[in-house]
């Protein structure tokens, strides 16, 4: 496998990496998580998020400025905090998603603390 090294600001790294490879290492880790042991009310949400990641246009999927991407962050939020808090965390994350922000963001998730 060929490797490339880019010298970019850390805030830009997730979007640059996603543009060239389609995902980041954190995105791949979240996508590989098993659905075993996930509460029954959360499984449909995770299945929907994973379906979205497969069918959404690449131009939309590969522009997230955060690592993990918003849909991967959302999956973690629902897994760790349940339906209500996961919805609130997802909403807050989407609200932060704008040009000029970016970088690694696990805000309010256990993995980031």
DSSP letters spanning 32-58: T---TT--TTTHHHHHHHHHHHHHS-H
State the residue for tokens 């850390």: 10
Q: Does residue 26 lie in a domain region?
A: yes
Encode pLDDT of 25-83 as tens digits.
Answer: 899 999 999 999 999 999 999 999 999 999 987 767 667 788 898 899 999 999 999 99
> What are the φ/ψ torsions at residue 99 (nearest 5 degrees)?
-55, 140
Q: Give CA angle at 7 (100, 9), nearest 5°.
A: 20
Over its C-alpha atoms, the chain yields an Rg (Å, rounded) of: 14
Q: Does residue 7 lie in a domain region?
A: no
Q: Which domain holds residue 35?
A: 13-105
Q: Does residue 113 lie in a domain region?
A: no
Domain count, the chain: 1
Q: How confident is the model at residue 112 (pLDDT cuts 50, 70, 90)?
A: very low
Percentage helix, strand, coil for the chain under 3-state DSSP, each rounded to 5: 55, 5, 40
What is the reported pTM? 0.82
């Amino acid at each position: 496998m060929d490797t490339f090294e880019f010298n970019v600001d850390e805030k830009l790294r997730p979007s640059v990496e996603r543009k060239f490879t389609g995902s980041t290492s954190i995105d791949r880790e979240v996508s590989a998580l098993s659905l075993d042991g996930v509460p029954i009310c959360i499984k449909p949400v995770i299945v929907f998020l994973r379906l979205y990641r497969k069918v959404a246009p690449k131009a939309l999927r590969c522009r997230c400025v955060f690592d993990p991407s918003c849909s991967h962050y959302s999956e973690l939020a629902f897994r760790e905090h349940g339906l209500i808090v996961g919805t609130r965390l997802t909403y807050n994350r989407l609200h932060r998603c704008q040009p000029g922000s970016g970088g690694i963001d696990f805000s309010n998730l256990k993995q980031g603390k």
